[in-house]
Structures are given as structure tokens and as C-alpha cells.
Structure 1
Amino acid sequence: MPPSPLQLNPITTDQSFTTGNVVVAAGAAIAPGVLLQADGGCRILVGQGVCLGLGCVVHASGGDIRIGDGANLGAGVLVVGSCEIGDRAIVGSGTTILSQSVPADALLPNSTLWVKPNVAATTPPAVPQPQAKPQAKPQ
């Protein structure tokens, strides 16, 4: 008979912060410095067994963010907009996710920029050209 799964309770500290409609399921681990912020009319749903690493920022705007059961977000991950991070997905530290869903069982390496195509800028910003300095006229 296989051993029963380890039963965990949500871990929160006074060093993490939630605001708005945020639901954290049983067994989720939330490290210090995590910010979960849901704008008005938006929700953040954190599934069972999710691990949110040190300093993660999850900001739901324009819709809901769902983090699936068993997903793992490394330290310093930024999730903004409306998306779903699939069950058991692993998101490497320093990754930024902007309104683009991550499939179940996906692995995003450290420092990945995961952006919906119409959100990303396709051209670099214009660089201002230096202006000529006025020349003094002899008197």
C-alpha cells in the first residue's frame, strides 16, 4: 500500500501581502515577500500544492489569474494581466509572464519573457538624436 500524500496547510507570513479577491488553496506554500494583488473585478486563484517563491509578484488586471495545482513559481517571478498557469508547470526564477497562459507540465527557464504576441513591442523605442549646439557668433 503506497504511503498517503503529505498533507500541508497554507503557509503565510506577515512578510507576504495580498489584496483584492485572492483565494489560496490548502497546501500552497507562499514565501516571504510575495505580493498577490487582484484589481477590482479580478481574482487570483492559487491551487493546491502551489509553491510561490521568494519575492513573486502576481497582479491580476483585466481578468483572472489561475495558478494550477502543483505549479511552482521560482523567486522573483512576475505575473501580470489575465492568464492561467497550468497544473504542475514550473516557472524559473526571474521570469516575467504578461497576459499569456502557460500550459500544464510546462517548464519555463529562468529569466524567460512569456508575453502574448500583441502585448510585446515589435520595434525598439525611438532613440532621441542629439541636437546641434548653437555656435557663438563673433562680435
Structure 2
Amino acid sequence: MNWTLEVVVVPVSDLDRAKEFYAQRLGFALDHDTDLGGAGRIVQLTPPGSRCSIVLGRGVVPEMPPGSLKGLQLVVPDLERAHAELVERGVEVSEIQVMGQNPRPVPHPLDNVGFVFFRDPDGNEWAVQQISERG
């Protein structure tokens, strides 16, 4: 049986500001922005190429303090290109960091060990890792 992670709730303080950051700055696709009347609102976005979406919400998602989500991770095949794209889009992103040594031969020295880090406007923390080939 396959078990797939499809949605991660990201706690934010301002839905419109977060929607703009994820859609415009990060280039996530806006799946829907649904106003549930007095019950709340849900905004769902999906990173390019991903099958897992994020949900920003009010009233119908678990209550978590804005900015409390740490350790979300995106994977890209080319970290240098991803870093340049984030900078071009105006995202405050760390320089490329190498974490440890690769345990096996890989086609690129950043595979598995290359990362960049950024935060959304609320302080939720993201990592981007390079994996160009899976073993």
C-alpha cells in the first residue's frame, strides 16, 4: 500500500500576505482560495512538480501559532538554479550550505548534502535540498 503525504498545514497570521508570498515569490500554484463564510477560509497551494500541497487557513485548520512550523523541506535537482530563482524572486535565502559528506558516489557534489534555507513572512522555516538522482 502506498502512503502519500498530500497536504501540510502552514500556520500564518495574514492569509493574503502568505498567499502572495507562496504564489508570487515562490511560484507555488494556487489550487484554490475558498471562503467558507463565517466558518473560515482555506487557501491551498502546490509547489511546482510536487504532489504535496500546503494549506493556509482560518477557522477550519488546526490552531498553531504563526511561524511555529520548522523543518519543511523542498527537493530540487539543481540547487544553484533554485537559489538563483529564489533570489530573483526577492526571497531572503541563505547561501548554499554543504551539510556533511556524501555517503555514496553521486553525479554532482551538492547531491544529498547541499541546502539553502528561507523563512516565510511569519517565520515558518523551509529548507531546499539538492537531489538530482535517487538511488
TM-score (norm 2): 0.23
Larger Rg computed on CA atoms: 1
In terms of fraction of residues, the more strand-rich structure is 1
In terms of fraction of residues, the more helix-rich structure is 2
For CA contacts below 8 A with separation 6 or more, give which structure has more relative contact order.
2
TM-score (norm 1): 0.23
